[in-house]
Amino acid sequence: MNLKCIVLAGFVLTSAAVVVGAPIPATSTEAYDSQVTLPGSPFGVAWGFLYGYLDAKAEVFMPQVRRMGGGFSKVYLFWNQIEPQKGQYDWTAVDAFVGQLKTPDEGLIALFCSSRWATRQSAAILPPTPATNLDDYYQFVTTLVKHCRGKVRYWQNDAEPNNPIYWSGTKEEFVRQLKVFYKAVKDADPSAIVIVGGYDGLFGPPGFYQFPAQKAGLDFFDCVLKEGRDVFDVFDLRLYADPYSIVPRVEYMRQKMRALGYDKPIICTEYDGPGFYEFPANLKYVSLLSPWTQSVLQTGSNGFPSRDHSGSNQIAKLYTEINSLAPETQMFLLRCSPELEAKHDRIQARDLVMRNIFAFSAGVQKTLYWQLLDLRKNPNDLTTLMYGKIGLLGYENGLLQKRFPTADAYQRMTTALGGVRSVKRVEIPSRPSIYLFAVERRDRGPLYVVWERRDAFTGEDLPPVPFDFASAAAAATATDALGKDVPVQVANGKIHLAVSLTPIFIELSR
């Protein structure tokens, strides 16, 4: 049961609306320093929602993340998982995660305030609610952080609290508990860094598409930024939805902090895309969401969300009618054609690179891909339909060793961007659809990344277009996000190549 992947219907609709809405206006990234300065790797992959809890294994996975070029990860843990009864602790999952970290900067533990004995609403998983006794909460967090002292750098309280699935309390209660969380973490380990519970990022700044449900989320984090300004070190902005809106969203939240007189680092602990409902052809299936979201919010007497299978028959019907469905729908099904499966992989690979380039150009310090673990299990499950193919690795012969194409794309990206210090867009006023970025890397030569903005699904059917830009390079080589070599020429002080919607990494030699 992959509850982290359940999204409220209103949020899904608004995410899709960004794809089909008005074009995103151009925005400048020159107003702030986009240097990557936080210690440790800027690239990471999150494990998934459940780790060492219920039927989820406490897997050793950091070696695989490192092989893909990542050096940062997070796990979600639950109060009920670690302290199932007052004063009785289960360190199994904690020790399994911490034991595989080479340095503290590799690790982030995000704690959901879900408990069957210590919170307002008895819940083993969701929804988290305020602690009934803040002294109990302080003791829990302090004990946990002391247990991991010097081994885990980053700690986070809950996640996406503007969403009632992930915080069934008020914004004031969230801030009140954040203050206790911050004190507990710092008392236990002064070197630890507190990341405030992440904002889902589903909003549009002024001048951009306005999400119908965004005001509540912005109001929630206005309170967090104002009243909790002294009790977090890093802000977490998730970067789902339209990748072309990433830069203005990051800058909008940065300006909110600056208006309050401070400017703290921003990281992204979750991103992936594009999602099932980001394609207009799939909006007809939004009705599948409501039973799921309601079942999660209705916790039974055992502390677990009820399971609602009312949409299973409808999803099963998609498989029986697969050949008559829109190709944008078919490619999310587990038994789609090899051609559409490959197309889906190509779309994910492009999206992966674009989101990271936009994020680093906006000054985001670290990014965590959601998620490592493959979800291709029950085909009739809604979460499989929506997110079944986002995982990078799966089990094969009982071992976490099966790599999916997006894992290869991730490794190509981290190889090209390894040592990234800054990413800056090079504006091409005469070709606004061309996205060209200059990448500065530590102890490495210059790199450029370029693509043309096109429709995510149909854009690859158009031929590449000629493009050149000024450069003092003596030679250059180019490889795209799919691993294909791209012909490139250097002549008359310019780089010449053909550009499509697939990002191209251009290595220059002087």
The amino acid at residue 347 is I
pLDDT of 382 reads 87
As a CATH number, domain 8-417 is: 3.20.20.80
Query: Of how many residues is the chain composed?
Result: 510
CB 67: neighbour CB atoms within 10 A?
Answer: 11
- Selection from 456, 455, 465 nearest residue 500 by Cα: 465
Let me know if 286 is exposed, middle or buried by CB neighbors in 10 A (0-12, 13-18, 19+): middle
Residue located via tokens 């490794």: 411
Give 174-178's long-range contacts (Cβ < 8 A, gap of 24+): 174/130, 174/220, 174/223, 174/224, 175/223, 175/224, 175/227, 175/228, 175/231, 176/130, 176/134, 177/113, 177/130, 177/131, 177/134, 177/137, 178/224, 178/228, 178/231, 178/232
Residue 305: the pLDDT is 66
Boundaries of every domain in the chain: 8-417, 427-509
Q: For residue 20, what pLDDT is reported?
A: 33
| Distance in angstroms (rounded) separating the CA atoms of residues 361 and 349 | 19
Strand 367-370, strand 393-396: pairing: unpaired
Burial class (CB in 10 A: 0-12, 13-18, 19+), 305: buried
Q: Which residues of the chain have pLDDT under 50?
A: 1-31
Could you tell me the pTM of the whole model? 0.93
User: Which DSSP letter does residue 121 get?
Assistant: S
367: closest CA among 358, 377, 378?
A: 358
Compute the 3-state secondary structure of the chain and give helix, strand, coil in percent, each to the nearest 5: 35, 20, 45
SS3 state of residue 249: helix
Provide the Cα torsion 375, 376, 380, 384; round to 10°. 40
| Fold agreement between 8-417 and 427-509 | no
DSSP 8-state assignment for residue 277: G
Query: According to the model, what pLDDT value does residue 31 have?
Result: 44
Asked if 156 and 197 touch (Cβ cutoff 8 Å), the reply is yes
- CATH node for 427-509: 2.60.40.1180
